Chain A
Amino acid sequence: MIQEQQWLLSLGTFLPLAGVLVMLFIPKKDEAMAKGVALLTAVATLGVGIYTLVKFDYGQSQKLQFFTTNKWISPIKATYTIGLDGISLPLYILSMVITVLVMVYSWNHVPNPGNAKAFFILMLVLQVGMAGTFVAQDLILFFVFFELVLLPMYFMIGVWGGENRQYASLKFFLYTMFGSALMLVAFIAMFIVTKNHATNPDAANFSFQWFHANAPGIARNTAIWIFGGMFVGFAVKVPMFPFHTWLPDAHTQAPTQGSVILAAILLKLGTYGFVRIALPFLPQAAKTWAPIIAVLAVIGIIYGALGCLAQTDMKRLIAFSSVAHMGFVMLGISTLTPLGINAALFGMVAHGLITGMLFFVAGSVKERYHTLEIKRLSGMLKQVPHLGWILGFCAMASLGLPGLAGFWGEFPALLASWSPATILTDSAMGNHELLYRVLTVISAFGTVLAAGYLLWLYQRTAFGEPSEEFAAHGHDDHGHSDIHDVNVFEWIAWTPLLIGIVVLGVVPSLMFKVMDPAVQQLTSVFGK
């Protein structure tokens, strides 16, 4: 690991809190001031993030950089250890970008019942939790950051959400809480079991390093149980079938900003947990769980796609498509190969950009038409051409069109699952090659379904003539229009995402090059 500029990650993670502190002293009525301070803080945080990007040593991206470790809760051996490698760098930066963009979008889009100050404070707190989760290199620290996002998101959905917000927010909260309670027990169990069989139990601590060195030695049966606890915790967050039922409700009811953050970053906390914690620490159990994860992932792909076809609400459709896309990510992870995990990590970022963008569009459609019912919308290309084209672009990206970012998450994942890691095809332990090949075929069919539901959505909403009920709202002779095209705040918030989708689609090696050394090192625990 590289221990230079040790302050950098702490600054990047906790800077938003400084903004929160300042905002506490701004009177509630002074909304512009509150928004300004929040945006300034987020931009400053992103500035720190960009500095991190510049200073990152890409030649050694498998190593933890800006690494620092300090005492934190000595009696239970939890440490304040943070670091950044090629796996976490893209997600860490993504969280900062998304927060800034969401804040720009919120500038004149604070959802009912208003109160911009509280809304922006919650976004800053969320940012701390998200960035912290990606830099944490200690299990307890990870847990604290992982949980830190829970309450702000609960309030964001519950206070600023749609009609059914209270039900949706409660469901979101209880599901996640259930997962994290089991996850915590699993973490503690892993620590104690590791400590008991280690040769130097006095050195035991909660840092990732310790588990890297010692956890793979846990007896296989015990490890399978511990993995199970973590599996529930992470799978709820991803969410994987059958733990996904909170997601459509949460997404549909959340305000646009909440949906974007949820889709772009929060779901990734779960998949990141699998890649960073469950797989490398418990490879002996991962071998047993991988086929199960693969099957559930593929069920998620197909189920999500079929769910999409049945939706009548645009936002709910996008939410179900998230279930399908995260299925591809989990399929990639379940192959235990470098290719699969690279694909999964790429898929995480791509899904963050694309689905985040789709939710932005859905929010803007809702704001203009006051409905997201697909059958009431039509002719967007005529009435709001820019918005219509952007929707089309995102739909293409989402269905995995080559040349756009979505492709590089799905295609390599399918490729990887055709030939999973050798430990999964090792006949001594049960050969799963056939299973994975069948799953590959089924999930390839899932991409066809994805094209189906996205194109169908696009066709119904964007093509044709504007429907009668909205036609009169368009550009009339007096220049009034309540259904207007993309405005300047939206352009500012969306352009970086659209550029990102194209750039990552055309030059995927930008990210693969950063991630691959770290992924190679991670998968080395599974042998060749």
Chain B
Amino acid sequence: MIAFSAPIVDYHALAPELVLAAGICLVLLVDLFVPAHRRWITGTISGLVLLGALLPVVTLAVLGGDVRDVLSGDGISGRYVVDNFALVLKALFLLSGYVVVLLSTNEIEDGGYYQGEYYVLLLSSVLGMVMMASSRDLVSVFVALEFLSIPAYMMAAWKKRDRKSNEAGVKYYLLGVFASAVMLYGMSLLYGIAGSTKLSVIGEKITLSGPRTGIEVIAVVFVIVGFSFKVSAVPFHTWAPDTYEGAPTPVTAFLSVASKAAGFVGLMIMVYLAFPLARDVYRPFLWVLAALTMTVGNLVALKQKNLVRMLAYSSVSQGGFILMALAMAFTNGSEESSLRAIIVYLIIYAATNLGAFAVVIAVARRTKSAEISSYGGLFNYAPGLTVMMTLFLASLAGIPPLGGWYAKFGAFRAAVDAGGGWGYTIAIVGAANAVVATAYYITVMREMWMKPVPEGADTSAVKVPASLVAALTITGLATLAFGVVPGIIAKVGSLTDLTGAFHG
């Protein structure tokens, strides 16, 4: 019998998670003791908590040095670590969370929703994401995934008396749970193959040499399918448009950016650590997923009349570009450029998409609508918002000098870097899709700039609340800066060595 010895905890490395956990308790308590009309303070506290959790991330980054085992001890080392990869993504999740808090402040307060609970769930979900970035073990990956998903199910259904919101929550919940089950099954097979839940051990067991067993194939495919639901890859995307449309808009922003990024992070960790050598299985599978995701997402987005639904499909299609880079990992030594491309893509996409949703929220405060037609003539009475939206849409379309072009550039580069028939074909598919995508982004621009104001619309100047102005400033500056001086973001991307990867 093995005696249990308590692991040694590196509290500094665990600090971001600890701050968040303490913050969650604090918000719960404040919500309990503060009178209803002053509950807005929970939002402020949540924002501060997220920024507070960023502090240790910064100090950890500044101290730098080697990989830190958060929990070290007999047989437990290397399962939950802090490396540069984890730090960059933690920072991304915390900042995205902060912007979502800014987006939520007025929306949740005006809607008369349960503010305290909302922020508790939001913080919990962010905590799950922060954990995901550090997880290097099947168990912690799964726990992190559930931790980030379950609060999100509830947030999607937050508009309690709205049928669409209920539909959003239920659909998201049912498909999410189904995906978890499939993934868990795949994980159990992985454990069966390797005899360990530690990803690096699994990675050593699944080798390229020797015949591929059926169990290995099923295990890899099931894990990818499970994550495909999370990242809404076609054909596992069906929940996304309904959920995005029904959920409160700040929640949609959160789901389409942070939650999706967390899904990709999980998928990356699995591909890079657990089965890098099973590329004969995942490459064709991810390749097809990527091509389908880009193409179907785009084609359906073309037909949308509702801006939030359109952004939902656009985010499906953007995911395809990330999958493109991932599919071509470990082909002709392209794993590094793929990893960097994905990280950079996630960061730029987060800034841009959150910004687009900020505009949607600001405009909807006036028009009470997210129909694209309600944006007619926006330039005439809200030129500032129109210019911001144009910047974000142009960035999503990948037009220089806005951030999106650099994200797409990286994805293309990863594909071309891998080369060969697979790489070049998917790059051409991606290029064609980049063009199709501009068609629907431009429809919105056309509506805002060129169409007349719909009849009966109020055309007095739109007042944008301070928190939204802050969110727009952050995301707008980031979108512009990432495009003009991509060096800053590329530098971050090149730091992100995922510990244990690149040895296959």
A residues touching B (Cβ–Cβ < 8 Å)?
Answer: 28, 71-76, 118, 140, 143-144, 147-148, 150-151, 154-155, 158-159, 165-166, 169-170, 173-174, 177-178, 181-182, 184-185, 188-189, 192
Within 8 A of A (CB), among B402-441: 405-406, 409-410, 412-413, 416-417, 419, 424, 427-428, 431-432, 434-435, 438-439
* Complex contacts, B412 vs chain A, CB 8 Å: 184-185, 188
* Complex contacts, A178 vs chain B, CB 8 Å: 432, 435
* Complex contacts, B435 vs chain A, CB 8 Å: 174, 177-178, 181
* Complex contacts, A182 vs chain B, CB 8 Å: 428, 431
Q: How far is the CB of A118 from chain B (nearest CB, A)?
A: 8
Q: How far is the CB of A131 from chain B (nearest CB, A)?
A: 14
* Complex contacts, B487 vs chain A, CB 8 Å: 71-75
Indicate whether B372 reaches chain A with its CB closer than 8 angstroms.
no
Q: How far is the CB of A155 from chain B (nearest CB, A)?
A: 6
Q: How far is the CB of A478 from chain B (nearest CB, A)?
A: 38
* Complex contacts, B449 vs chain A, CB 8 Å: 155, 158-159
9 examples of A-B residue contacts, CB within 8 angstroms: A75-B487, A147-B400, A147-B405, A148-B401, A151-B394, A155-B445, A155-B449, A170-B446, A173-B438
Q: How far is the CA of A144 from the CA of B450 in the complex (A)?
A: 26
Partner of B400, one of A71, A74, A143, A159: A143
B419:A181 contact, CB within 8 angstroms: no
* Complex contacts, B439 vs chain A, CB 8 Å: 170, 174
Q: How far is the CB of A158 from chain B (nearest CB, A)?
A: 5
A-side interface mostly: helix
A177 and B438 contact, Cβ closer than 8 Å, known pairs A74-B491, A166-B446, A184-B409: yes
Q: Mark B385-400, 1 if CB is under 8 A from A, else 0.
A: 0000010001001011
A75 and B434 contact, Cβ closer than 8 Å, known pairs A147-B405, A165-B450: no
Partner of A75, one of B445, B446, B491: B491
Partner of B409, one of A76, A118, A170, A192: A76
Most buried by B among A72, A144, A148: A144
Q: How far is the CA of A75 from the CA of B410 in the complex (A)?
A: 11
B-side interface mostly: helix
Q: How far is the CA of A347 from the CA of B255 in the complex (A)?
A: 54
Q: How far is the CB of B486 from chain A (nearest CB, A)?
A: 5
Within 8 A of A (CB), among B427-474: 427-428, 431-432, 434-435, 438-439, 442, 445-446, 449-450
Q: How far is the CB of A284 from chain B (nearest CB, A)?
A: 19
A144:B405 contact, CB within 8 angstroms: yes
B438:A75 contact, CB within 8 angstroms: no
A177:B434 contact, CB within 8 angstroms: yes
Extra 8 A-B pairs, beta carbons < 8 Å, given A73-B486, A189-B424: A140-B409, A144-B405, A148-B400, A154-B445, A159-B450, A182-B431, A185-B431, A192-B416
* Complex contacts, B431 vs chain A, CB 8 Å: 181-182, 184-185
* Complex contacts, A118 vs chain B, CB 8 Å: 383
* Complex contacts, B493 vs chain A, CB 8 Å: 75
A188 and B416 contact, Cβ closer than 8 Å, known pairs A158-B449, A174-B435, A181-B432: yes
A73 and B490 contact, Cβ closer than 8 Å, known pairs A147-B405, A188-B416, A189-B416: yes
Q: Mark B468-493, 1 if CB is under 8 A from A, else 0.
A: 00000000000000000111001101
Q: How far is the CA of A28 from the CA of B387 in the complex (A)?
A: 14
Indicate whether B373 reaches chain A with its CB closer than 8 angstroms.
no
Q: How far is the CB of A470 from chain B (nearest CB, A)?
A: 31
Q: How far is the CB of B445 from chain A (nearest CB, A)?
A: 8
* Complex contacts, A155 vs chain B, CB 8 Å: 445, 449
Q: How far is the CB of A133 from chain B (nearest CB, A)?
A: 12
A75 and B413 contact, Cβ closer than 8 Å, known pairs A144-B400, A174-B438, A181-B432: no
Q: How far is the CB of B159 from chain A (nearest CB, A)?
A: 35
* Complex contacts, A71 vs chain B, CB 8 Å: 487
Indicate whether B340 reaches chain A with its CB closer than 8 angstroms.
yes
B487 and chain A: residue at smallest CB distance = A73
A144 and B401 contact, Cβ closer than 8 Å, known pairs A173-B438, A177-B434, A181-B434: yes
Q: How far is the CA of A155 from the CA of B390 in the complex (A)?
A: 11
A147:B399 contact, CB within 8 angstroms: yes
B398 and chain A: residue at smallest CB distance = A181
* Complex contacts, A72 vs chain B, CB 8 Å: 485, 487
* Complex contacts, A169 vs chain B, CB 8 Å: 446, 450
* Complex contacts, B410 vs chain A, CB 8 Å: 76
Q: How far is the CB of A109 from chain B (nearest CB, A)?
A: 20
* Complex contacts, A147 vs chain B, CB 8 Å: 399-401, 405
Q: How far is the CA of A145 from the CA of B88 in the complex (A)?
A: 30
Q: Which 5 A-B pairs have the closest CB atoms?
A: A75-B490, A181-B431, A144-B400, A147-B400, A178-B435
Q: How far is the CA of A147 from the CA of B405 in the complex (A)?
A: 10
A225 and chain B: residue at smallest CB distance = B424
Q: How far is the CA of A181 from the CA of B399 in the complex (A)?
A: 10
B438:A166 contact, CB within 8 angstroms: no
Q: How far is the CB of B181 from chain A (nearest CB, A)?
A: 39
* Complex contacts, B427 vs chain A, CB 8 Å: 185, 188
* Complex contacts, A148 vs chain B, CB 8 Å: 400-401
Indicate whether B494 reaches chain A with its CB closer than 8 angstroms.
yes
Q: How far is the CA of A159 from the CA of B383 in the complex (A)?
A: 14
* Complex contacts, A174 vs chain B, CB 8 Å: 435, 438-439, 442
